[in-house]
Structure 1
Amino acid sequence: MTRRVLNRSLSLFALCGSLLAMPALAAEPEMVMYQHPECGCCGKWADHMRENGFRVQQVKTLEMVLVKSEAGVPPELGSCHTATIDGYIVEGHVPASDVQRMLEERPAIVGISAPGMPLGSPGMEGPYPAERYDVIGFDARGSAYVFSSH
């Protein structure tokens, strides 16, 4: 083996070793969002999430009541779309920053919800004045609390 080939082999070996020693880059969070086929604001919310680093798979279904029931979304916290991400539920027009916070803090909850369709929330922007609204955290026992206020 020539010296040049040996040096190249050692360089490649060192490069591979250093790449293996590097911490894995965090993958973008992947979200599956269920929505009624005719809902336009759901797509706008999905765009908001994508703009904030999330990968969003949109699933159009006429079975939204079933989706919400199976996910454990309390009826009083319902909205127009339901998303799942990393073991959590995100119901409605929740800002991406709240989803990021939930994923970082990992609270012992089922998920978070922006009940109804608050004007001015992500996907519900428009020419009308924005409403103040709360994002609610909820658990499997039916307990709920204010996760954040906007």
Structure 2
Amino acid sequence: MRLIYQLSLGLLLVLPVISSHAEESVWDKAQVSYFGPSNITVYRSPTCGCCKKWVEHLEQHHFTVKDITTDNMQTLKQQYGVPRELASCHTAIIDGYVIEGHVPADDIKRLLMEKSKITGLTVPAMPVGTPGMEMGARKDPFHVLQFNEAGQSKPFNAYQNY
């Protein structure tokens, strides 16, 4: 339980807030069954809250996450071949693939099952409504893009009304 402090009419009110996962996310239920490699290494800034929420999303979908905080995100993105225009806030590696940004777990599972000959998947920027970027009922349309070592990308999946 955490406490919220609120100033009202000159009085300091202490309001208990019970943290609960009762409010379900559209991303909570798996649509893809997957039983292959599940070890994923996530690199993120130590101050990034949405990245931590994305890690929780992966864990909920039975990925085993090695969560590494670093101040050298740009160097990592360059090392793993993430083009600047496809970048987001965190970078993950699983089974030789790069996963950049708030990619839904089911798309990662699909990639691992299809064994596509690509560098990885990305959700560029940080669209509201993606896993880890939930903000109430707002859900911006977004694309999961696949990209190759030359930095070329094309759609892998699209989310319009989810």
Same fold, TM-score > 0.5, yes or no: yes
Q: Which of 32, 44, 48 matches 1:39? A: 48
Is residue 83 of structure 1 aligned with residue 92 of structure 2?
yes
Distance 1:28 1:103, change over 3 A: closer
Tell me if structure 1 keeps the 8 A contact 2:82–2:151. no
Structure 2: distance between partners of 1:44 and 1:142: 27
Structure 2: distance between partners of 1:27 and 1:94: 18
Structure 2: distance between partners of 1:28 and 1:143: 26
Give the Å deviation of 1:142. 2.1
Is residue 97 of structure 1 aligned with residue 106 of structure 2?
yes
**Structure 2: stretches of 5+ with no match in the other structure:** 1-34
Is residue 122 of structure 1 aligned with residue 127 of structure 2?
no
Tell me if structure 2 keeps the 8 A contact 1:119–1:128. no
Give the Å deviation of 1:143. 1.7
Q: How does 1:1-150 map to 2 (within 5 A)?
A: 29-127=38-136, 129-150=138-159
Three-state SS of the structure 1 residue aligned to 2:113 is: helix
Give the Å deviation of 1:129. 1.1
Match of 2:3 in 1: none
Structure 2: distance between partners of 1:75 and 1:147: 19
Structure 2: distance between partners of 1:43 and 1:56: 11
**Amino acid across the alignment from 1:64:** M
Please tell me the root mean square deviation across aligned C-alpha atoms, in Å.
1.1
**Amino acid across the alignment from 1:42:** C
Cα displacement string for residues 101-141 of structure 1 (whole angstroms, at most 9, x for unaligned residues): 00000111000000000100000001251100000000012
**Amino acid across the alignment from 1:133:** F
TM-score for the superposition, normalised by structure 2: 0.75
Match of 2:24 in 1: none
TM-score for the superposition, normalised by structure 1: 0.81
Structure 2: distance between partners of 1:135 and 1:128: 20
Three-state SS of the structure 1 residue aligned to 2:106 is: helix
**Amino acid across the alignment from 1:79:** S
**Amino acid across the alignment from 2:77:** K
Higher strand share: 2
